Structure 1
């Protein structure tokens, strides 16, 4: 096991989570509660623990692919695409919570959803477990997409 690479992979993903939370923290307690939300909307306190867990899974998934070596066919492209979807994840937090623009955030999360799907498929080809580890993240963003759309429609 390459501990340095593992810690870097986890650190990159957790740093993205922290970056997104900087935008979220500004609005989650005073703006978000004022929105009309669907019945499926979970309590605010659950988001932190769930997303921390998802970012850890993402980090380990990245490690498994990166550890195959950037010279192996498809690895560099898969890691680059992973980076793109990670940036899109942070951008969604900025659009939704930072700019308080659920409509624009919905369009962006749709692109994020597609990027995660493609990343998951590429990871599966390189290292099956890495692809499987992205499934909870894909499901989490799928739920966020539905919730985002519902908020757009209700407000």
Structure 2
């Protein structure tokens, strides 16, 4: 292995760690807030039509987190001097903070109202992240589209729970 390929490999490993670490942390924080509050609190709430069964959320989020990791990895491995790269990274980080914050607000605080106050700006930041990623790496942007769609659906569910249980 040449020194140059060794440097690229190290860069790839560093990018993998920097992309996976924060996403894993957000997922674990979300799980810690969510799992203890499914039964009995969430199970007893009235839910809107089209609410999926509880077992579907884990696999769906696993797929979404993997896609988020791929997207963020691609941005981190991109041209460091690329126009808008720093802003794209900050947008991704901001939406990720809100991602974990939604679980804490909705499940941890048992507050659909607070959940809605978090998920609305989260969706806006996800869309802004997609736009920023699009300018840098279209595949990275495409990887975030299912996430944006799922969070839009989660916004409907959150609003429905709030309306039906107020």
TM-score (norm 1): 0.95
Report the structure number with the largest CA radius of gyration: 2
**TM-superposed deviation, 1:3:** 3.1
Structural RMSD (CA): 1.2
Match in the other structure for 2:116: 106
Find 1:116's aligned residue among 110, 126, 131. Answer: 126
> How far apart, in 1, do the equivalents of 2:86 and 2:19 lie?
14
Find 2:107's aligned residue among 86, 89, 97. Answer: 97
**TM-superposed deviation, 1:7:** 3.8
**TM-superposed deviation, 1:103:** 1.0
In structure 2, list runs of 5 or more residues that go unmatched: 1-8
TM-score (norm 2): 0.89
In structure 1, list runs of 5 or more residues that go unmatched: none
Find 1:148's aligned residue among 138, 158, 162. Answer: 158
Match in the other structure for 2:5: none
Match in the other structure for 1:29: 39
> How far apart, in 2, do the equivalents of 1:89 and 1:129 lie?
21
Match in the other structure for 1:48: 58
**TM-superposed deviation, 1:8:** 3.2
1:68-102 deviation digits (Å, cap 9, x = unpaired):
14332211110011000000001100000000000
Find 2:72's aligned residue among 43, 55, 62. Answer: 62
SS in 2 for 1:134: helix
2:140 maps to 1:130: yes
